[in-house]
Amino acid sequence: MAPSPSEGPVDATLEESAGEAASAESAGFRVSLSNFDGPFDLLLNLISKHEMDITEVSLSAVTNEFIAYLGQLEDDEELDQASEFLVVAATLLDMKVAGLLPQGELVDAEAVALLEARDLLFARLLQYRAFKEVSAWFSRCLQREDRRHVRAVRLDEKHRRQTPELVWSLTADDFAALALLAFAPKEIPHVGLDHLHAPLVSIREQAAIVVTLLRGTESLSFRELVAGVAEPGIVVARFISVLELYRHAALSFEQLEPLGELTLRWAADSWSDETLATLGADYDR
Amino acid sequence: MTDEMTGTSAEETPDAATPDEEATEIPLAERIEAILLIIDEPLGLVALAAAVGSPVPAVRQTLEMLVDDYDGRGKGPRRGFELREVGGGWRLYVREELDDVVAAFIGGQAPARLSQAALETLAVIAYKQPVTRSQVASIRAVNVDSVVRTLLARGLITELFADSETGAINYGTTDALLQHLGINSLDELPPISPLLDDGADGFDEGTIR
Amino acid sequence: MTDEMTGTSAEETPDAATPDEEATEIPLAERIEAILLIIDEPLGLVALAAAVGSPVPAVRQTLEMLVDDYDGRGKGPRRGFELREVGGGWRLYVREELDDVVAAFIGGQAPARLSQAALETLAVIAYKQPVTRSQVASIRAVNVDSVVRTLLARGLITELFADSETGAINYGTTDALLQHLGINSLDELPPISPLLDDGADGFDEGTIR
């Protein structure tokens, strides 16, 4: 009886009744990138089917387009779509980080863990999509039942008299105490946002420091590279810039054992500061 | 969706007498039964005819047919309910022979004590009346529909008036509550907070912490 | 529990033909109809059997007969109402095709719809209950506090228990949600991808962060 959310039916009814927001998104928000042009949903599909490399997608470009798109929307839609976009964008970002991590031929514990992490990210994206799809079923059922009328008629006077006598044991003061309790605001804990106000760190700036340090010496361990840095954000940023520089073949690295010392060497034949200027653009806000 | 529905019904009964009355093709008896199922108070013949969009004589005739039908003089069996005209209106009643079954059920069903949720809701209504159900719900942070129904059925609260703009019903407490509490008027309710006295409105904003 | 009930009741009434059972001479269907007419919440099969004083299997069978009867598959005509099992119990509903007639009569305003965010949060809670707010948030990757509050106020979800270690409140769905969805139990939720079943526990822990 209950309709199943298999592809066809859900999508069909999605258009008609259920998620205007959802259908508006698939119809409305398009992405235009250098290597992709089409609806956002299609992009996600391609990525989750491994038919497109997440590392080739510029998230900043997608985000810019989305923000521009939001500008044309009504307020309500905007909120829904913005929150949905955040979910997907956050997942894509995670996937991208995992995608950027170097994958050597060596199948060691870390590589396996990395693969698992990537699978988990795919799983998370799929999970989110599954819930999003099934929410259309919820919407459809809720709307259908909202229109239904059920018999909910007050008891006849005749029968009402048959209800057992009410046992009442509260004094007026008890009642007042109860009222105080009832009016006390319900504690609804919330997630604090304080942790979001960490100082911003620029990948590009950190990459510049890494380049400067590496070019001046034969080799450097990552530990030395971050020596004296207290802020975790900067450590992370320097690590990401190492990855980015590796992508540009500007450095090589060596790690003799898992979790062992990471030794970095400058390896660029030709390096211009223009490369540096575009480095980490994907991470820009 | 509605169009689709009507369309389906139309296909099922293609040979209706009047082809232009598509909307009312569902048999009159069914339309009357639908209205009868949801009304609280007896509904007069004219109002019923207006509700189902059919002429009064046809409605009267169908009502009589339904009375017979429910009493077992139609094609089907006798029903546990009957259709009666009482005080100038029509309404479904439990058949009298079955009153004992209903009485036993109600007697065993209704709790003799109000639940904590019901008491707290009652307290909110007592101190904030007149107040709508959704206002109570937002203070209590839970859905209060069934609790309000219980309090109404117990005669502890009553419907005061409908909001002129939204149509939402405002509730207040009854003399029965005052009697239970052993006080003569609402003024004798112990004050619970100075904030409640001066600004009931400020309250919703969560001023009390 | 139902089986146990069934067994006991069956023993109690070994023979329908016993002449000394005067009190229950009124047909079971009528007794059931009388109860259905007065309830304002879904009544489960076992409670219904207790109310009419008949064994569960007989009541179940009679309910099915009544469903058919009202749908016009019995001797009489189709009714303007129907009997549905929703939210864990049985209740009389206006037949769907007639909802427009009733809606026009009572002039109800369109109920406020849930936002897409609320729908998705509701879906996550329905499938993963008991679940804490932060677990829901990690799946939806956004703050769900206000949405959870809305769902609580609508009575669609409820607080189940607090985690013994962290004190985080676990949420689950209510019978009211089942009623609003028009289904009888959580088993009727559509199946979602098998991926969610096996790996579900894995990614709640926020392994990826």
Element containing residue B172 per DSSP (H, E): strand B169-173
Q: CA of C195 to nearest chain B CA: how many angstroms apart?
A: 33
Residue B74 has pLDDT above 70, yes or no: yes
- Radius of gyration, CA atoms only, chain B: 24
DSSP A150: B
- List the helix and strand counts (H, then E) for chain B: 11, 5
Distances A84 to A38, A59, B177, C161 between C-alpha atoms, Å? 18, 15, 49, 29
One-letter amino acid for residue A283 of the chain: Y
Provide the CA B196 distance to its chain's centre, in angstroms.
Answer: 31
Nearest to B182 among A155, A171, A186 (CB): A171
Largest Cα–Cα separation, chain C: 74
Q: In which band, very low, low, confident or very high, does the pLDDT at C35 lie, cut at 50, 70 and 90?
A: very high
The encoded tokens of residue A235 equal 């450590």
Give the tens place of pLDDT for each residue, A17-31. Answer: 333 334 334 456 777
Residue A99 contacts C, CB cutoff 8 Å: no
The encoded tokens of residue A86 equal 């955040």
Give the lowest-confidence range in C25-34, C93-102, C196-205: C196-205
pLDDT recorded at residue C52: 93
Report, as an integer, the average pLDDT of C59-88: 94
Residues 6+ away with beta carbon under 8 Å from B183: A172, B189
Residue C141 contacts A, CB cutoff 8 Å: yes
Note if the bond before C14 is cis, omega within 30 degrees: no
Report, as an integer, the average pLDDT of A155-175: 80
Residue B180 contacts C, CB cutoff 8 Å: no
Asked if C98 lies within 8 A of B2 by C-beta distance, the reply is no
Q: In which band, very low, low, confident or very high, does the pLDDT at A280 lie, cut at 50, 70 and 90?
A: low
Mean pLDDT value across chain B: 79
* CB-based burial, A191-221: b 16+ in 10 Å, e otherwise: eeeeeeeeeebebbebbbebbeebeeeeebb
Q: CA of C193 to nearest chain B CA: how many angstroms apart?
A: 28
Q: In which band, very low, low, confident or very high, does the pLDDT at B158 lie, cut at 50, 70 and 90?
A: very high
Element containing residue B162 per DSSP (H, E): strand B157-162
Instruction: Using CB atoms, list chains with 3+ pairs below 8 Å to chain B.
Output: A, C
CA C44, CA C60: separation in Å to the nearest integer? 10
pLDDT recorded at residue A106: 41
Residue A184 contacts B, CB cutoff 8 Å: yes
pLDDT recorded at residue A85: 73
Give the tens place of pLDDT for each residue, B79-106. Answer: 999 999 988 899 999 999 999 899 888 8
Mean pLDDT value across chain C: 79
DSSP C75: S
pLDDT recorded at residue A13: 34
Report, as an integer, the average pLDDT of B170-177: 92
Which of C119, C124, C184 to mutate against chain A (most A CBs within 10 Å)?
A: C119
Nearest CA-CA partner of B86 in B38, B44, B131: B44
Q: In which band, very low, low, confident or very high, does the pLDDT at B204 lie, cut at 50, 70 and 90?
A: very low
pLDDT recorded at residue C83: 96
Q: Where are the beta strands (DSSP E) in B66-155?
A: 81-86, 89-94, 131-132
List the alpha helices (DSSP H) in A2-156: 7-16, 20-28, 40-48, 59-70, 75-100, 109-146
Residue A151 contacts B, CB cutoff 8 Å: yes
Asked if C27 lies within 8 A of B77 by C-beta distance, the reply is yes
Residue C87 has pLDDT above 70, yes or no: yes
pLDDT recorded at residue A225: 85
- Residue located via tokens 């019904």: B9
Using DSSP, state whether A24 is helix, strand or coil.
helix
Nearest CA-CA partner of C39 in B66, A156, B70: A156
pLDDT recorded at residue A102: 54
Prediction pTM value: 0.59
User: Up-side HSE of residue A225: CA atoms within 13 Å toward CB?
Assistant: 33
Residue A1 contacts C, CB cutoff 8 Å: yes
Give the lowest-confidence range in A96-110, A144-158, B133-147: A96-110
C52: exposed, middle or buried (Cβ count in 10 Å: 0-12, 13-18, 19+): buried
CA A25, CA A32: separation in Å to the nearest integer? 15
pLDDT recorded at residue B28: 94
Mean pLDDT value across chain A: 71
